[in-house]
């Protein structure tokens, strides 16, 4: 019995011991798991309550003009905060002398609205607050200050101790700046949070933005996070620079001319584009629109790329090229009926812009004078009997139906009706109205691309705005010019030459004679479209769109340009009066700024000199004049075989004759035509005193030649 009890007790002891060992082993396993297996996860979880990684933005790349001028750049600005409860900021550092000095410097250089005493009291009061006070470890000192000012603030007492001992927190921010302000504003564009990106900034955001870095942030009381270090732990990779095709000078000329025209005609909006003919490089793209919010005119929308319009008479070029391709017209002097400028087609009446009253016009005049009736009559004659599809097929051959795919977003697709497509709303009046630029929609950039192809002898170039990307001056990627795929030539060489001839006629003898230049030739086409022509029947209910598209110099095109101005309300609304002068102002500036557009002055034979070009009645010493004439290569004859020391030149037709200038030692000589040096020499040698008025050569003298010289004063009048 006793043994049995003893065994039972032992069993219980063993059981308790085993249970204790089991619990101890379980505790040991859990401690091992926490210490070694779960430690990284738990540490990260703990840190996440106080530390977190945030994205550090990279330095954004610059956008530059083709000559390297900055169009958009990022400038560094700094926010300064103060951690007044920083771990290393003890009372020895935060002493009265340091606080007073810091307060004086902050009042003098950071915020002059507070006195040094107010600053000192404020800092003392903050120091006394408990650490749990919201914002106590992230007190704003200065916002958006420059780099130079930030460096200055870092040297202030207390702050100079740095992040941990002085509580100084410096955060860098970048602000996008445009050195040329509003120049090409919409084309350059922007990127903003929660807003659709615009322009080159938006289209090339990934390239300009670089690669994000990482910065460690510390959670402080008040549920705020402050940077642990001034610099990012993982440095971001800076963005690349974007070198555009824009020319600052041409861009400025286009924007200035367009703005002046919009203001002069009280227009709603307008755009102008300048493109390099051989490459398709866009050298200027200006957009001006009325803005009630900004007051006056502003660049708020890219009309050049994003607004589809009925091109009006500018589209007649495509209609005439279609007829040229099919051989329907060849002799530009052939007569075309124009019915006095008014004709009814089905149930719609078409009329010319002016009631000219003529029954016929030549093919050249129909185009140059922009006759709607003449153009529609020709198109209806050749394509009106079941052949409209042939006409539309030619338009496709010309690339009219293609988008440009320009780098900036927002381009609208062209709308071109098709007689074989039941969804295109083709009617009996579509063909004649399409021939004069209605019932189809194109953006100004798309139409200019077509005109540029005509200027480029038929080769259609893709318009582009970006030449290359670089980082620190090293090339990353280049975007060379290239032709539109499948468009080796939009038409035959003969058609292109004939089309160029017609465009020249518009400026030489047609609707755009007002922009004819004596210095270079212009080719182009005016356009005056009625907005919503078919929607409204009363002429008072729709506005107009004035436009001009062409290229210059016409004989060897370098630039093509389009100008579109919508809803002019003051003065004229015709393309020749509103848009063409803008084109002329732009082309004049381009011609003046670009020596490559000028014909060398010695390219042809030297012109024969005329009397006005020769140095007539210039006088002086024979030796000096003879040397000058020989250096200039001017021939001359002598009045006598033996000429005296002083002579005068006389021009007659295209020749020069050297005549005797009689000089007497005792009389006042004639010094008219001489330079001042020779005139003073002769007069003072004869005892005369000389006074001078003006600059140049002697044109008049107060003492008559031949007067006895006896010390008088002679006044010389120079011009």
Closest among 501, 495, 601 to 554, alpha carbons compared? 501
Confidence of residue 250 (pLDDT cuts 50, 70, 90): very high
**End-to-end Cα, the chain, rounded Å:** 153
The sign of the CA dihedral 508, 496, 583, 338 is positive
Confidence of residue 539 (pLDDT cuts 50, 70, 90): very low
Closest among 579, 542, 583 to 262, alpha carbons compared? 579
Reply yes or no on whether the pLDDT at 508 is more than 80: yes
| Structural contact between residues 177 and 107, judged by C-beta atoms closer than 8 angstroms | no
Q: How many Cβ atoms are within 10 Å of 133's Cβ, its own excluded?
A: 13
Q: Where are the domains of the chain?
A: 54-244, 251-597, 611-718
Confidence of residue 44 (pLDDT cuts 50, 70, 90): low
User: For residue 286, what are the CA distances in angstroms to 81, 172, 207, 248, 302?
Assistant: 43, 34, 25, 12, 8
Overall average pLDDT of the 363-387 stretch: 93
**251-597, which class in CATH?**
alpha beta
Strands 466-471 and 474-478: antiparallel
List, for residues 645-703, the tens digit of each pLDDT value.
Answer: 998 988 877 788 889 888 888 899 999 999 999 999 999 998 999 999 999 999 999 99
List, for residues 270-318, the tens digit of each pLDDT value.
Answer: 999 999 999 999 999 999 998 876 568 888 899 999 999 999 999 999 9
User: For residue 680, what are the CA distances in angstroms to 218, 624, 673, 690, 700?
Assistant: 88, 16, 13, 7, 14
Reply yes or no on whether the pLDDT at 514 is more than 70: yes
φ/ψ of 686, rounded to 5, equals -105, 15
The sign of the CA dihedral 560, 565, 566, 571 is negative
pLDDT > 90: percent of the chain:
52
Which residue shows structure tokens 């004939």? 498
Strands 342-345 and 348-351: antiparallel
Angle at 412 between CA 409 and CA 418, to 5 degrees: 150
User: In sequence order, what are the beta bridge partners of 241?
Assistant: 470
Tokens of 366: 């129909």
User: In sequence order, what are the beta bridge partners of 468?
Assistant: 243, 478
Residue 671 CA to residue 646 CA, distance in Å, equals 10
| Structural contact between residues 72 and 244, judged by C-beta atoms closer than 8 angstroms | no
List, for residues 188-197, the tens digit of each pLDDT value.
Answer: 988 887 778 8
φ/ψ of 165, rounded to 5, equals -95, -25
Torsion of CA 67, 69, 74, 78, to 10 degrees: 140
CATH number of 54-244: 3.90.1310.10
Reply yes or no on whether the pLDDT at 391 is more than 90: yes
Reply yes or no on whether the pLDDT at 68 is more than 50: yes
Which residue shows structure tokens 């798309």? 446
Q: Radius of gyration of the chain from Cα atoms?
A: 42
Residue 114 CA to residue 117 CA, distance in Å, equals 8
User: In sequence order, what are the beta bridge partners of 692?
Assistant: 716
Cβ-based neighbours of 511, under 8 Å, separated by 6 or more: 368, 369, 370, 526, 574, 575, 576
pLDDT at 487: 77
3-state secondary structure string, 332-377?
CCCEEECHHHEEEECCEEEECCCCCCCCEEEHHHHHHCCCHHHHHH
Residue 279 CA to residue 460 CA, distance in Å, equals 9
Reply yes or no on whether the pLDDT at 45 is more than 60: no
| Structural contact between residues 527 and 548, judged by C-beta atoms closer than 8 angstroms | yes
State whether residue 596 is helix, strand or coil: helix
Residue 517 CA to residue 580 CA, distance in Å, equals 12
Cβ-based neighbours of 490, under 8 Å, separated by 6 or more: 397, 398, 399, 450, 453, 454, 458, 459, 460, 496
Element (H, E) at 123: helix 116-128
Tokens of 698: 């002697």
Cβ-based neighbours of 444, under 8 Å, separated by 6 or more: 271, 273, 303, 304, 305, 307, 309, 547, 562, 564
The full DSSP string for 214-279 is EEEEEEETTTEEEESSSS-SBPPBPPPEEEES--HHHHHHHHHHHHHHHHHTT-SEEEEEEEETTT
> Which of 342-346, 585-589, 656-660, 664-668: highest mean pLDDT?
585-589
User: For residue 406, what are the CA distances in angstroms to 134, 311, 468, 482, 576?
Assistant: 51, 19, 15, 13, 28
> Which of 205-219, 289-303, 439-453, 607-621: highest mean pLDDT?
439-453
Q: Which residue has the higher pLDDT, 525 or 625?
A: 525
Cβ-based neighbours of 225, under 8 Å, separated by 6 or more: 52, 54, 217, 218, 219
Tokens of 62: 């610059």
Residue 271 CA to residue 254 CA, distance in Å, equals 9
The full DSSP string for 165-218 is HH-EEEEEEEEEE-TTTTTTHHHH-EEETTEEEEHHHHHTHHHHH-B-EEEEEE
Closest among 288, 360, 363, 305 to 331, alpha carbons compared? 363
List, for residues 439-488, the tens digit of each pLDDT value.
Answer: 999 999 999 999 999 999 999 999 999 999 999 889 999 999 999 987 78
What is this structure's pTM?
A: 0.75
pLDDT at 535: 43
Residue 650 CA to residue 658 CA, distance in Å, equals 7
Residue 670 CA to residue 425 CA, distance in Å, equals 89
Reply yes or no on whether the pLDDT at 148 is more than 70: yes
Residue 367 CA to residue 385 CA, distance in Å, equals 23
Q: What is the mean pLDDT of the chain?
A: 87
């Amino acid at each position: 019995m006793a043994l049995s009890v003893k065994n039972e007790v032992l069993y219980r002891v063993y059981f308790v011991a085993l249970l204790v060992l089991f619990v101890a082993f379980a505790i040991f396993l859990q401690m091992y798991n926490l210490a070694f297996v779960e430690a990284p996860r738990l540490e990260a979880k703990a840190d996440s309550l106080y530390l977190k990684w945030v994205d550090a933005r990279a330095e954004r790349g610059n956008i530059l003009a083709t000559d390297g001028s900055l169009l958009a750049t990022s400038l560094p600005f700094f926010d300064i905060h103060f951690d007044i409860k920083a771990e290393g900021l003890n009372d020895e550092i935060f002493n009265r002398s340091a606080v007073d000095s810091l307060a004086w410097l902050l009042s003098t250089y950071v915020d002059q609205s507070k006195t040094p005493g107010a600053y000192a009291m404020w800092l003392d009061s903050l120091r006394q607050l408990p650490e749990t006070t919201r914002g106590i470890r992230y007190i704003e000192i200065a916002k958006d200050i420059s780099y130079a000012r930030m460096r200055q603030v870092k040297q202030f007492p207390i702050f100079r101790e740095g992040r941990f001992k002085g509580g100084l927190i410096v955060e860098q921010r970048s602000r996008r700046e445009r050195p040329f302000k509003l120049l090409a504003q919409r084309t350059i564009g922007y990127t903003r949070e929660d807003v659709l990106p615009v322009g080159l900034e938006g289209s090339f955001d990934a390239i300009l933005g670089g690669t994000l870095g990482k910065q460690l942030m510390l959670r402080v009381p008040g549920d705020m996070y402050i940077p642990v270090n001034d610099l990012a732990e993982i440095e971001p990779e800076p963005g690349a620079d974007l070198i555009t095709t824009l020319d600052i000078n041409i861009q400025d000329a286009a924007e200035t001319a367009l703005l002046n025209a919009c203001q002069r005609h009280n227009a709603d909006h307008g755009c102008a584009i300048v493109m390099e003919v051989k490459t398709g490089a866009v050298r200027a793209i200006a957009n001006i629109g009325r803005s009630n919010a900004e007051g006056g005119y502003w660049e708020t929308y890219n009309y050049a790329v994003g607004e589809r319009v009925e091109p009006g008479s500018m589209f007649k070029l495509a209609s005439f090229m279609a007829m040229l391709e099919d051989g329907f017209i060849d002799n530009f002097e052939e007569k075309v009926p124009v019915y006095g400028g008014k004709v009814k087609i089905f149930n719609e009446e078409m009329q010319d812009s002016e009631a000219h009253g003529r029954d016929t016009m030549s093919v050249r005049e129909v185009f140059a004078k922009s006759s709607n009736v003449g153009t529609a009559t020709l198109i209806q004659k050749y394509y009106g009997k079941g052949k409209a599809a042939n006409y539309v097929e030619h338009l496709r051959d010309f690339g009219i139906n293609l988008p440009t795919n320009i780098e900036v977003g927002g381009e609208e697709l062209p709308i071109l009706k098709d007689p074989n497509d039941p969804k295109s709303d083709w009617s009996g009046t579509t063909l004649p109205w399409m021939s004069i630029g209605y019932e189809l929609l194109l953006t100004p950039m798309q139409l200019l691309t077509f005109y540029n192809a005509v200027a480029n002898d038929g080769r259609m170039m893709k318009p582009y705005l970006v030449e290359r990307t670089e980082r620190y001056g090293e090339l990353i990627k280049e975007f060379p010019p290239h032709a539109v795929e499948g468009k080796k030539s939009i038409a035959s060489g003969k058609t292109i030459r004939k089309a160029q001839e017609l465009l020249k006629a518009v400026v030489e003898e047609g609707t755009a004679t007002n922009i004819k230049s004596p210095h270079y030739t212009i080719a182009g086409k005016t356009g005056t479209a009625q907005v919503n022509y078919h929607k409204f029947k009363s002429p008072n209910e729709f506005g107009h769109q004035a436009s001009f598209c062409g290229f210059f110099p016409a004989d060897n095109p370098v630039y093509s340009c389009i100008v579109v101005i919508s809803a002019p309300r003051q003065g004229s609304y015709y393309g020749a009066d509103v848009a063409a002068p803008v084109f002329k102002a732009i082309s004049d500036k381009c011609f003046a700024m670009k020596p490559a557009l000028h014909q060398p002055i010695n390219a042809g034979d030297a012109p024969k000199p005329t009397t006005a070009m020769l140095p007539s009645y210039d006088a002086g010493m024979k030796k000096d004049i003879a040397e000058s004439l020989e250096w200039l290569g001017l021939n001359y004859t002598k009045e006598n075989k033996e000429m005296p020391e002083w002579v005068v030149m006389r021009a007659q037709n295209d020749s020069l004759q050297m005549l005797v200038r009689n000089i007497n030692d005792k009389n006042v000589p004639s010094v008219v035509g001489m330079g001042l040096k020779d005139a003073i020499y002769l007069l003072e040698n004869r005892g005369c005193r000389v006074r001078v008025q003006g600059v140049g050569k002697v044109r008049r003298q107060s003492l008559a030649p031949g007067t006895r010289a006896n010390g008088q004063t002679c006044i010389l009048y120079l011009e």
